[in-house]
Amino acid sequence: MAGETTINPAAARRTKAPAKEKAPDPNGGARQILNAAAWLLRHRGYEATTTRAIAERVGIKAGSIYHHFPSKDAIVERVINEGVLVVGKAVTAALEALPKKATPRDRLQAAIKAHLLSSLEHSDYTSASIRAFAFLPPEMRKTCRVERRRYEDIWQQLMQDAARAGYIPADVSPDAARLMLLGAVNWAGEWYRPGRIPIDRIAADFARIAFGARRT
Amino acid sequence: MAGETTINPAAARRTKAPAKEKAPDPNGGARQILNAAAWLLRHRGYEATTTRAIAERVGIKAGSIYHHFPSKDAIVERVINEGVLVVGKAVTAALEALPKKATPRDRLQAAIKAHLLSSLEHSDYTSASIRAFAFLPPEMRKTCRVERRRYEDIWQQLMQDAARAGYIPADVSPDAARLMLLGAVNWAGEWYRPGRIPIDRIAADFARIAFGARRT
DNA sequence: CCTACCGATCGGTAGG
DNA sequence: CCTACCGATCGGTAGG
């Protein structure tokens, strides 16, 4: 996360200004549309996220969507990008909440847990980013890859620190370790069901398998 | 492929019989349709795999597809199920090719490599099964889950043997290990590019990270 | 935010 | 395997 979400001072000051595409009112029409699209992208995919399906979830007519967004793809792109930003903030916050003495391994386990919580429990946006990305229109995939890469940089740093501290075998590429771990957490949405294995436990097991026991 | 279809039927009849296209054998028109659908499912997803897009790749008209299959979904279901069967056979064959003295860890590494080869290099069917599954129509997902579970049983057995042989920490659930590994290999399609890291190396690194060094 | 509608495209069919 | 077509639905627009 290079910078925070672009904080627009004017938007922060606004009281009842019309919710433009950039800063939707938390309960306004634009936000409801984004929420509906996020749910559909997560559970049905890109093509099935039709303007009519979005409108039905919000309780409006399909044509009314275009008073808030210029196109379906503008909505989709917002959802996908917000999903990456949300999980990035969750992971960053989890890392900052750790005590100073936390090891690189502790940090990785915290990142795994935060990523899983965001994508499995907290955010349709994050899950939509993960699951729907592969089949987005090629140009949009290219655009959204920018924010995605920024998020992956967090993991590259975490993995580098872990490798230096000896948590990864010297003859194993940190890239392979990063891709293996990101694959494991991104794929969790395909098998995770609430109420079975707690996310805490999944994160602990993943970290244990990849990095061994905690050093006490 | 599509471009060489002759416009003039009389001219087409005069030319040599295009055996590879019109032969009524099991590898004829029906197989070409399945191949085209597999490519589309892998690269574009379920909804974008239209009867017209399939027909165009084969070099026929959309309506002609229904001479071979009763519906689009019958084609899709065949592709998804064949993809699981193909990777299952590849993994089983790789395991049988190992020497008797192979350890459970050797067997897991061989399975990882066979799964990756099948889904990344050899088979649009396998890749389609992995990537397109999540957004299939719910009833079809349910149907295809049968074959999928059967494949996952192979991994459950492999992981159980590895756990008994001490390759997995006793306080870690073999389920978590299996799901982590399957997630890692299934997600590889999202980042793998031919010519970079060899699949052999990826498999070796994944096994090294999850199960430690080989015992010599 | 709605009604009413556009041209394009969807899965599928009739009848050769 | 093709031509010609069906009703349904798509993203998007006009004008209130």
pLDDT (tens digit per residue) in B92-147 = 999 999 999 999 999 999 999 999 999 999 899 999 999 999 999 999 999 999 99
- Confidence band, pLDDT 50/70/90 cuts, at residue B20: very low
Q: What is the DSSP string of chain A?
A: --S-S---HHHHH-SS----SSS--TTSHHHHHHHHHHHHHHHT-TTT--HHHHHHHHTS-GGGGGGT-S-HHHHHHHHHHHHHHHHHHHHHHHHHTS-TT--HHHHHHHHHHHHHHIIIII-HHHHHHHHHGGGS-HHHHHHHHHHHHHHHHHHHHHHHHHHHTT-S-TTS-HHHHHHHHHHHHHHGGGT--TTSS-HHHHHHHHHHHHH-SPP-
Strand D proximal to A73 Cβ, under 7 A: yes
Average pLDDT along chain B: 88
Estimate the crossing angle of helix A138-164 against helix A72-96, to 10 degrees. Answer: 10
For domain A21-211, the CATH superfamily is Tetracycline Repressor, domain 2 (1.10.357.10)
Record the pTM: 0.87
Interchain CB distance below 8 Å, B187 and A183:
yes
Phi-psi region of B23 (alpha: psi -120 to 50; beta: other; left: phi over 0): beta
Q: Say which residues have a Cβ less than 8 Å from residue A27's Cβ, sequence separation at least 6.
A: none
- Confidence band, pLDDT 50/70/90 cuts, at residue A73: very high
| Chain B residues within 8 A of A166 when measuring between CB atoms | none
Residue written as token pair 């699209």: A37
Q: Which of A187, A209, A212 sits opposite B187 (nearest CB)?
A: A187
Tell me, in Å, how far CA of A186 is from C1' of C8? 36
Residue-level pLDDT at B10: 32
Residue A35 has pLDDT above 80, yes or no: yes
Architecture of the domain whose range is B9-67? Orthogonal Bundle (1.10)
Residue A57 has pLDDT above 80, yes or no: yes
Q: What is the DSSP string of B42-60?
A: HHT-TTT--HHHHHHHHTS
Question: A59: which nucleotide lies closest, measuring CA to C1'?
Answer: C1
Shortest CA gap A177–chain B (Å):
7
CATH number at B79-211:
1.10.357.10
Average pLDDT along chain A: 89
Mean pLDDT of A128-135: 96
Interchain CB distance below 8 Å, B45 and A48:
no
Domain ranges of chain B: 9-67, 79-211
